[in-house]
Amino acid sequence: MSVVTAESRVTLHFELSLEDGQIVDSNFSKTPASFMFGDGSLLPAFEKALLGMSVGQEASFTMAPEDSFGVHNESNIQRISRTQFSMDLEEGMVVSFADVSKNELPGVIAEIGEKEVLVDFNHPLAGRSLTFRVQIISIEDAA
């Protein structure tokens, strides 16, 4: 197979960075990652940007928050009684909560008050434009 299609298994190197150039994640100095197109392991906009790329090709593209981890949503910031926490808290720490369906929901401790703790349930990269850099290592037909 010569180019990435919606029926491809793709192996690639990638790098994810913020607007200021800070690298959030990269596997360029590690083993490349593989995924099946459409398996849900990558953001849909990221997959779409790979369509038509060929082995050895490198590219960089910037994704708006709406196409990556979403916009920052103020309603995802909750005040929780300090008595609900049985641990020492620090601002910036990630705490695991359970939603009504018992699914794990991570929250970042944003502020610690005497009686309440402000917890941000937005994805840590929400509201950020991100730059993805990729290099296609191999492409296989998934069929």
Q: Is residue 30 included in any domain, yes or no?
A: yes
User: 79: domain range?
Assistant: 74-120
Q: Clarify whether residues 102 and 54 are in a common domain.
A: no
Tokens of 14: 């990638």
Q: Are residues 51 and 83 in the same domain?
A: no
* Distance in angstroms (rounded) separating the CA atoms of residues 8 and 141: 5
The count of structural domains within the chain is: 2
Let me know whether 17 and 56 are in one domain: yes
pTM here is: 0.78
CA atoms within 13 A on the CB side of 10: 30
Question: Could you tell me the CATH number of the domain that includes residue 62?
Answer: 3.10.50.40
Residue owning tokens 């808290």: 89
Q: According to the model, what pLDDT value does residue 1 have?
A: 52
Structural domain includes residue 91:
yes
Please report the pLDDT score of residue 2 as a whole number: 84
pLDDT for 21 equals 94
The answer to whether residue 63 is domain-embedded is yes
| pLDDT score for 100 | 78
pLDDT of residue 15: 97
- How far apart (Å, rounded) are the C-alpha atoms in residues 90 and 112? 8
Identify whether 137 is part of a domain. Answer: yes
Domain for residue 54, yes or no?
yes
Q: What is the pLDDT of residue 105?
A: 87
Q: The domain that contains 115 carries what CATH number?
A: 2.40.10.330
pLDDT in tens, the chain (143 residues): 589 999 999 999 999 999 999 999 999 999 999 999 989 888 899 999 999 999 999 999 999 999 999 999 999 999 999 999 999 999 999 999 887 788 888 999 999 999 999 999 999 899 999 999 999 999 998 76
Residue 84 maps to a domain: yes
* Beta-sheet strands, E only, within the chain: 8-17, 23-26, 33-36, 58-63, 77-81, 94-98, 104-112, 116-120, 130-141
